[in-house]
Amino acid sequence: MRALALLALTACLPPLSRDADNAIDLRYRMTRPPQSTIVDIYRVAGADAPSRCKMVPTDSQAGSLNVVNDLNVNNYVRGSVPAEVPPEWPMATLRTFAVAARSIALSTDVGGNGFALYSDTRTQNYGGVAVESPRTDNAVLTTRNQVVTYHGEVAQTTYFSASGGRTESHFLGAPAPPYDESVPDPYDFYSPLHHWTFRFTEAEIDSRLGGYLDGRLRKIVVSRRGRSGRVDYAKLIGTRGTTTIRGDTLADALGLYDRLAYFTKSGAPGRRRSLRSRFPSPSFPMPGTLRAAHRRSGARVRHSLPR
C-alpha cells in the first residue's frame, strides 16, 4: 500500500486531494509497532470531499515529523498529470500520461518513512487540487484504473522532457527492466534543451566538487558510459589524487540537466580557464537524420554562473 510524501504542513489543508474513489488505494499500512511510527491520523473536511494526512516521526532526526498526504491512485493522477504536461495538449497525449503516471505510482517505492512516493521529480510532480483541470480530469476518468503491465506486473513507465537524442534503458545503479531499451529519439532537436553548455571557472568547479575531489581539479575523465552515452562513472583527477564519482552525483553537483555530458577544459595557461559540459557530443554515434536535424535547428542554450 502506498502514500505520498509532501513537504509542508499546509499540504494537509483542504482542498489538497479528494478521497472518494478507493478502487485503487495508495495508503500506507503499518507493518511496524504502532508506537514507533504514526503519532496522529486525521481527516480535514473540505467543501467537496475530505483530505487525509499522516504525521510520521522521521527516522533520521529526533523530534521531527514527515507530513504524508494519503490518497488513492486515481486522485493522485488528477494532481500529477497537469503538473507534468500542459492541459492544452491533445487528449490522446493526456490519456497516455494518465496511464503512465498511474503506472509509475503503483510500481515505485522510494522506501520513505511512512511514504512510497515523492511529490517532485524524484518520482513525478504532484500539485494536488490546485493544478487540476477539466481536460486532464477527463483524461484520468476515461483511463480510470488503467496501467501498463509486463508479465502481469505493473511496469515503470518513465518519461522525460528532453532526451538529448537518445533514451536511457535504466536508472543508474538499478537493474535494467526487460521492457526498457535505449533507442534514438529523432524529434528531440525541437527541445530548447537538446543542446546546452555550462561554463565554470576553476574556483567555481572546485567549490562544487569539493566534497568529491582530492585537491584542486585538473580534469574529469569519464570511465564508463551507458548505452545512451550518459555518464555512469567518472574519475576526478585532482592535484592530490584521483577519486571516482557516479554520473548522477556529478551531474547533480554541477547542476547539469542530464548525465549525457561531455567535458572539455578551455583557456590558455596562466589565464582564467573554464570547464564546459556539452550534450550531445559530435563524437557520439547518432543517426544521420539526427545530425542533419541538429545542424538545422541551431538550438543552443548557454548558462553562466554568477561570479
Provide the pLDDT for residue 115: 84
Classified as helix, coil or strand, 81 is helix
Residue 169 burial class via C-beta count within 10 angstroms: exposed 0-12, middle 13-18, buried 19 and up: middle
Distance (Å, whole) CA 38 – CA 223: 45
Considering the entire predicted model, what is its pTM?
Answer: 0.66
- Cα separations (Å) of 4 from 63, 156, 158, 303? 21, 17, 18, 34
pLDDT digits (tens, 9 = 90+) for 31-65: 333 333 333 333 333 334 444 666 777 776 677 77
User: Read out DSSP for 2-68?
Assistant: --EEESSGGGGSTTS------SSB------S-GGGS--EEEEEE-SSSEEEEEEEE-SSSTT-EEEE
Determine which of 92-96, 120-124, 193-197, 299-303 has the lowest per-residue pLDDT on average.
299-303
Classified as helix, coil or strand, 248 is helix
Percent of the chain topping pLDDT 70: 68
- Banded pLDDT at 271 (limits 50, 70, 90): low
Cell numbers found for residue 282: 559530435
Three-class secondary structure assignment of 98-150: HHHHHHHHHHCCCCCCCCCEECCCCCCCCCHHHHCCHHHHHHHHHCCCCCCEE
Cell numbers found for residue 89: 495538449
Provide the pLDDT for residue 23: 34
For β-strands 153-154 and 274-279, DSSP reports them as unpaired
